[in-house]
Each structure stands twice: as structure tokens, then as C-alpha cells.
């Protein structure tokens, strides 16, 4: 038995509304302003000049497009079966599905990210949102976060479904 759970990403309205304007400005720069500024008498040099000027703008365009797509249309799709758990990030550029064998998983649990402590700072995530829980897999002394930024109710429901299917052996 395989069950598919789809978790919609919680979008940031500021990014969803204003980042497309930045993407349009980058398109305007890449395809109108750069060709005009790199036009010279010799075509080979102007083409090389255009390509060299285009590379950083194209890089920023791809990064901003990835952020905007994931923020606006992003979904995490969990395919849970008795043998494996497959995690797919839908609408994210350069992301491939990850599979975890159930036999290799030691524990599946909920991680509270209300207070994140890193080497350099402490971040208080609970101040602005109730969505600061994560579903984690413990596999060979590593903790792998598979779904982030859930409410405690959603995290408990998903964990219950995962445990029900995985324990059906």
C-alpha cells in the first residue's frame, strides 16, 4: 500500500508579489540593455562581450526564479510505502526526489524549531509563526529534515500517517 501526502508550502506574500518585478527587470536588462551596450563594430567581440556580461545576470535570474517558484507554488510530496519513503519537492529547480529505505530508518519524529541554535546565532522562530515544527528521520546517527515549517497539528497528522503505513508489515 502506498499513500501520497501533499504538503503545500506556506508562501511569503512579499516575495510572491514583488519578486516577479525583479525578474522582469532582470529580463529587461539581459535582453534589451546588455545587447545595446555590448554592440560594437566587430560582431565576434560584441557577442563575446554580451555573453560575458550576461553570465552574472543569468545567474541571479535563476536564483531568484528558484526562490519565487518554491515560495509561490512549492509543494512537498511524500510517497509512503512499507519499503521506502520518497520525498519530492515539486516546483523547485534542480531538485531531485530523495528516497529513504524504511529498513535503514531508526526513528521518525517531530523536531521543534521554535528556538534554533547554530554556531553563530540563536534564532527565535516561534515569535512570528506557529509553523515551526519539522518531520525528521534519524538514520545512522544523522537527523534528516524531510518536511519543514509545519504546525504541531499538521506535524502530528503526518507523523501518524507515516507510522501507520510503515508499521503495516
Of 89, 117, 143, which residue constitutes the final position of a domain? 89
pLDDT in tens, 53-78: 999 999 999 999 999 999 999 999 99
- Beta strand ranges found along 54-129 (DSSP E): 75-80, 84-90, 98-101, 107-112, 115-117, 122-124
**pLDDT for position 44:** 80
The single-letter DSSP state of residue 23 is: H
From 65, 89, 113, give the residue that closes a domain: 89
Q: Give residue 169's pLDDT.
A: 61
Q: How far apart are the first and last CA of the chain?
A: 10
In a domain, 38, yes or no: yes
pLDDT tens digit string along 87-105? 999 999 999 999 999 999 9
| CA–CA separation, 149 and 144 (whole Å) | 14
pLDDT band of residue 109 (cuts 50, 70, 90) is: very high
Question: CA dist 106 to 13, 64, 67, 82, 138, Å?
Answer: 38, 37, 33, 14, 5
Domain that holds residue 17: 1-89
Cβ atoms within 10 Å, residue 158: 22
- How many angstroms separate the CA atoms of 117 and 121, rounded? 6
85 with 4, same domain: the answer is: yes
Same domain, 2 and 85: yes
Lowest-confidence segment of 12-26, 37-51, 56-70 by average pLDDT: 37-51
Amino acid at each position: 500500500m502506498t499513500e501520497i501526502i501533499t504538503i503545500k508550502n506556506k508562501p511569503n506574500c512579499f516575495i510572491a508579489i514583488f519578486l516577479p518585478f525583479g525578474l522582469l527587470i532582470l529580463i529587461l536588462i539581459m535582453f534589451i540593455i546588455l545587447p545595446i551596450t555590448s554592440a560594437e563594430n566587430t560582431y565576434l567581440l560584441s557577442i563575446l562581450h554580451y555573453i560575458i556580461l550576461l553570465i552574472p545576470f543569468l545567474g541571479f535570474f535563476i536564483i531568484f526564479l528558484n526562490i519565487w517558484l518554491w515560495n509561490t507554488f512549492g509543494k512537498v510530496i511524500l510517497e509512503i510505502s512499507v519499503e521506502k519513503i520518497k520525498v519530492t519537492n515539486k516546483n523547485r529547480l534542480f531538485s531531485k526526489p530523495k528516497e529513504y529505505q524504511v529498513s535503514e530508518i531508526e526513528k521518525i519524529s517531530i523536531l521543534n524549531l521554535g528556538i534554533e541554535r547554530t554556531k553563530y546565532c540563536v534564532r527565535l522562530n516561534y515569535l512570528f509563526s506557529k509553523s515551526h515544527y519539522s518531520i525528521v528521520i534519524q538514520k545512522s546517527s544523522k537527523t534528516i529534515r524531510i518536511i519543514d515549517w509545519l504546525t504541531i497539528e499538521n506535524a502530528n497528522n503526518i507523523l501518524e500517517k507515516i507510522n501507520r503505513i510503515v508499521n503495516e508489515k
